[in-house]
Amino acid sequence: MNRYPLWRYVLIACAIAAALLYTLPNFYGESPAVQVSSAKTTVKVDDAVLARIEKTLQAAGVAPTGLLLEPTGLRARFADTDAQLKAFDLIEKSLNPDHDNPSYVVALNLLPSSPAWLTALHALPMYLGLDLRGGVHFLLQVDMQAALQKRLEAFAGEVRGLLREKDLRHAGIAREGQTLRIRFRDAATRDKAETAIAAQIQVLDLARRDDGQDQLLVATLKPAALKNEQELAIKQNITTLGRRVNQLGVAEPVIQQQGADRIVVQLPGVQDPAKAKEILGRTATLEVRLVDEDAMRSGSTFNVDVFPERKRDGSVSSVPVKKQVLVTGDQFTGASATFDQDQRPAVSVELNEAGGRVMRQATRENLRKLMAIILLERGKGEAISVATIQGEFGSRFQITGSFTPAETNDLALLIRAGSLAAPMEIIEERTVGPSLGKENIEKGFNATKWGFVAIVLFMSAYYTLFGVISSIALGVNLLFLVALLSLLQATLTLPGIAAIALTLGMAIDANVLINERIREEVRAGQTPQAAIAAGYERAWGTILDSNVTTLIAGLALLIFGSGPVRGFAVVHCLGILTSIVSSVVVSRAIVNMTYGHRRKVARLAIGNTAWK
């Protein structure tokens, strides 16, 4: 009765083998590396860059032990930190001759040194949280009210323009809180205006109001539009932050939305939060200027500003532009990738009212001339688009050029990212030094190790052979858990390590239940084989019930927890699941292998049961 069919043993063996495979990368440690990624959307890290780096390093005699081109960038491994630092300087100098305006992010990093065949199987070491590897964590709160107000101001301009166009007289347009109030002297005009606005600007909800003096239209953003605006604002801020973080030279930055209006920024390895904050808070701006075509032809630099323009083929040309700035970045209210009437990729942009007016005049006077859009950052500018003015336009226009759809996407982001959509505030900061991170790993590991050893010693002494089997099952549980964490690449934090320890401590409960039950059955006079079967069977219901209640608490923590609590809850929940499998199925398999195939079992090695 205590026999598993062969396929079950094979299945368990396979599961353990797979777990071993995925746990393996954690033992290889890390090797120093230099990581190169693009700092600008116009710059790509490709084979040419790879060859260049290879040549530079070879010339200096710093041979990397591995050079790898990945979608996210280029990684060069080195035998030791000396070679890594030397190579870092060399690469930085070669790729970024102008230190203040880097085209590439060159960062120091530690890469898992597991063999390539493991990496190919997506077997990676566990992903360590900032408290274990050191770094800076910020939580930024986006001021949505301000973003929406900014947006409403833009709509106010649009309404004003529209009413002028339709020749409808209004008595003032003002924003009050999150609403737009448009006043009219008489109801007839108001009704006409209402139809006009409703037809033109669909995202506004309009309500009629009469304050005794004037007829009013109260406009608010429709709920769907409101949500859309909020999402756009967050996205724009994330893009801007991403561009800024690039300048910090961080190997694996994390910039993510959290909740409706928050952004998490995690910068592993960054030790100077002050510098990080300074850079995150910096503003980049956009300018629209006319190209000085005379200067372009003559090459004169008199009374013009010259900006570099990176062409699609990779070459860089200079664009002389007039000193007069037509429109600045904060006047852009939106930008999105689209296609023009000839189905060529283009970027559709939107300006506020003032910007639109200037634009209309400028385009009328400069038809068929060149206009440049310049991105200014850290006092350096770059022409991101130079295009011919095809017609007169105002607050809405399209930028066309020799773009691919991907590039128009980037450009739209860039234009939006030129300034933050809404002000942000740091509401949480956590900085952990690298020495503390190492210490945390060590302490967490030691705590788990000694707790584990103590349990194994006790179980083996108390339940003899069954105790040893329980201990093996517990070891398999740990193996499964580590493999699962490595496979899912869930972030492991110090509370996560604590959860591993706690879960192991709780997991042994199942085996204690089983072993006690078997002893009891033996005492009650059952034969050894029957006692094993009854013990496992009777204990199963209890094990399930008790694990479900523990899991309920774990899930509650997972749903409502944030930060350290979440790190704990993820590991805790996974651990409960693996423990059910290992303590019941794996231990049973070992017991079956030991006893199941014997014809006669005189007694079970489960400690003293003969006291009754």
Amino acid identity for residue 510 in this structure: A
Closest separation in Å from C-beta 512 to other proteins = 5
Closest separation in Å from C-beta 140 to other proteins = 10
Cα distance between residue 197 and residue 182, in whole Å: 11
* 221/584 with CB nearer other proteins: 584
Q: Is 431 in the site for other proteins (CB under 8 A)?
A: yes
Cα distance between residue 13 and residue 24, in whole Å: 16
From candidates 459, 485, 490, 590, binder to other proteins by CB under 8 A: 459
Q: Is 435 in the site for other proteins (CB under 8 A)?
A: yes
* 268/418 with CB nearer other proteins: 268
**What residues from 236 to 275 belong to the interface with other proteins (CB under 8 A)?**
273-274
* 372/456 with CB nearer other proteins: 456
**Bridge partner list, 263:** 140, 257
Amino acid identity for residue 429 in this structure: E
* 68/436 with CB nearer other proteins: 436
From candidates 293, 364, 553, 598, binder to other proteins by CB under 8 A: 553
Q: Is 432 in the site for other proteins (CB under 8 A)?
A: yes
**What residues from 93 to 152 belong to the interface with other proteins (CB under 8 A)?**
139, 141
Q: Which stretch binds other proteins (CB under 8 A): 48-56, 167-175, 225-233, 446-454?
A: 446-454
What DSSP element (H or E) covers 545? Answer: helix 528-560
* 89/545 with CB nearer other proteins: 545
Q: Is 562 in the site for other proteins (CB under 8 A)?
A: yes
Q: Is 525 in the site for other proteins (CB under 8 A)?
A: no
# residues contacting other proteins (CB under 8 A): 79
**What residues from 268 to 297 belong to the interface with other proteins (CB under 8 A)?**
273-274, 277-278
* 344/430 with CB nearer other proteins: 430
**What residues from 375 to 414 belong to the interface with other proteins (CB under 8 A)?**
none
From candidates 448, 578, 579, 583, binder to other proteins by CB under 8 A: 448
* 106/513 with CB nearer other proteins: 513
Q: Is 475 in the site for other proteins (CB under 8 A)?
A: no
* 102/575 with CB nearer other proteins: 575
Closest separation in Å from C-beta 514 to other proteins = 10
Q: Is 502 in the site for other proteins (CB under 8 A)?
A: yes
Radius of gyration of the chain (CA): 33
* 408/547 with CB nearer other proteins: 547
Cα distance between residue 229 and residue 151, in whole Å: 8
Q: Which stretch binds other proteins (CB under 8 A): 54-62, 85-93, 298-306, 424-432?
A: 424-432
Burial of 32 (0-12, 13-18, 19+ CB in 10 A): buried
Closest separation in Å from C-beta 479 to other proteins = 17
Q: Is 450 in the site for other proteins (CB under 8 A)?
A: yes
Backbone angles phi, psi at 323, to 5 degrees: -70, -30
Q: Is 423 in the site for other proteins (CB under 8 A)?
A: no
* 143/392 with CB nearer other proteins: 143
Amino acid identity for residue 455 in this structure: I
Cα distance between residue 543 and residue 581, in whole Å: 11
Q: Which stretch binds other proteins (CB under 8 A): 99-107, 245-253, 540-548, 578-586?
A: 540-548
From candidates 513, 532, 570, 589, binder to other proteins by CB under 8 A: 513
Q: Is 444 in the site for other proteins (CB under 8 A)?
A: yes
* 35/493 with CB nearer other proteins: 493
- Residue whose token pair is 């503390």: 436
Closest separation in Å from C-beta 273 to other proteins = 6
* 136/384 with CB nearer other proteins: 136
If we measure between CA atoms, which residue out of 340, 359, 347, 390 comes closest to residue 288?
359
Write out 571-585 in H/E/C secondary structure: HHHHHHHHHHHHHHH
Could you tell me whether strands 30-38 and 73-77 are parallel, antiparallel, or unpaired per DSSP bridges? antiparallel
Q: Is 524 in the site for other proteins (CB under 8 A)?
A: no
Amino acid identity for residue 543 in this structure: I
- Measured CA to CA in angstroms, residue 121 lies from 24, 114, 489, 562 at distances of 12, 11, 13, 31
* 18/447 with CB nearer other proteins: 447
Instruction: Count CB-CB contacts under 10 A for residue 424.
Output: 22
**What residues from 571 to 590 belong to the interface with other proteins (CB under 8 A)?**
572
Q: Is 505 in the site for other proteins (CB under 8 A)?
A: yes
| Segment 343-348 long-range contacts (CB within 8 Å, at least 24 positions apart) | 344/400, 344/403, 345/400, 345/403, 345/404, 345/405, 345/407, 345/408, 346/398, 346/399, 346/400, 346/403, 346/408, 347/385, 347/398, 347/399, 347/403, 347/408, 347/411, 347/412, 347/415, 348/396, 348/397, 348/398
* 86/277 with CB nearer other proteins: 277
If we measure between CA atoms, which residue out of 298, 275, 593 comes closest to residue 465?
593
**What residues from 593 to 612 belong to the interface with other proteins (CB under 8 A)?**
607-609, 611-612
Closest separation in Å from C-beta 508 to other proteins = 5
The answer to whether 477 and 590 are in contact (CB under 8 A) is: no
What DSSP element (H or E) covers 380? Answer: strand 380-388
From candidates 306, 447, 577, 605, binder to other proteins by CB under 8 A: 447
DSSP output for 299-343: ---TTEEEEEEE-TTS-EEEEEEEEEEEEEGGGEEEEEEEE-TTS
